[in-house]
Amino acid sequence: MTSSWRDSLISDHHFISHVLDIIAKTPSQQSSINRLKEILSLLLEFTDKYHNIKEENYLFPLLVERGIPQSGAIHNMIMEHEAERELLIKMIASLESPTPGSSQVIFKKIDEYIASRKSHMLQEEKQLFSRKTFTAKDDEKLQHAFEQFVTKLYNKNVNAHFHNKLAEIERNVTQAVLYGKISGETLEKIIKQFPYIIFYFDRNYQLSYTNTTDEKFQLGKSIQECFPKDLSQRITTSGETQNSEIIQHVKQTYFIRSVLNDFNEPMGYLVIRQNSF
């Protein structure tokens, strides 16, 4: 927990700016839609259910109590909170059922959202957070109210809750950015240069991918058709244990590992054979 209500709100603004930077880095293409949905949902939770509540339920009422008119900057900020919430909800809903070309429309809306959020935070810091309206007691009261609110909502683990989610999203976006820079064709050419032969078998042990052009290894072939009986048996036994294993077979080295889905269930099996350098 940060030391004062002001630090707490400004640290929230830094978090939001960080999320906005990640959104701006996300490649504007159809394949980014799921990632975008995740980021916007995190933003909706953080701004609307957490940060804006601290402002609307605690900071703004105390400012009004201390004589700041409800009709000026405070009114504008509340109106902007509402408009942003509606925009985020609409964007998330349209990402739920994307249609061809819809990503371009959403990316345009996202640019509008980023600009409006950045200006909102700047105005708040300039017009409301920096006012010398509060006494030391007010500062303490507000900080205490924030702490109680956070504890009730996130059991004090607010930082871990949001920062872990953001770290995961950031890792995915970085991967997407890397892949976005090279085409599938280039990636395939790079893989073909590996001093290894890669075989990927699906859950039924049928060959789904390989980087070799050797006709013996045609896609769709079963593992028994690709490798001698004793080797294919060792691979299937090893694949089921979900551990990685290195085996030697007729002077060649094979690395075997199951590939797991998000639920830790095997979705296929990777076999890598080392070629001579």
What is the binding site for Fe ion (CB under 5 A)? 55, 77, 124
CB of 5 to Fe ion, least distance (A): 12
Q: At what angle do helices 158-181 and 5-25 cross, to 10 degrees?
A: 20
- If the CB atoms of residues 79 and 260 are measured against Fe ion, the closer one turns out to be 79
Nearer to Fe ion, 125 or 202 (CB): 125
CB of 78 to Fe ion, least distance (A): 8
Cα 170 from Cα 164, distance rounded (Å): 10
Residues 6+ apart with CB under 8 A from 220: 206, 207
Q: Encoding tokens for residue 26?
A: 């996300």
Q: How far is the CB of 134 from Fe ion (least distance, A)?
A: 17
Token pair in block for residue 102: 């819809």
User: 161, 168, 173: which is closest to 50 by C-alpha?
Assistant: 161
Residue nearer to Fe ion on the CB measure, 74 or 207 = 74
The least CB distance from residue 58 to Fe ion, in Å, is: 12
Task: Give 55 or 205: the residue with its C-beta nearer to Fe ion.
Answer: 55
- Distance in Å, CB of 73 to Fe ion, minimum: 10
Identity of the residue, 8 or 32, whose beta carbon is nearer to Fe ion in the bound complex: 8
Minimum CB separation from Fe ion for residue 43, in Å?
13
Torsion sign over Cα 113, 114, 115, 117: positive
Q: In what order do the strands lie in the sheet with 252-260?
A: 207-210, 196-202, 266-274, 252-260, 245-249
Q: Which is nearer to Fe ion, 77 or 169 (CB)?
A: 77
On the 0-12 / 13-18 / 19+ scale of CB atoms within 10 A, 49 is exposed
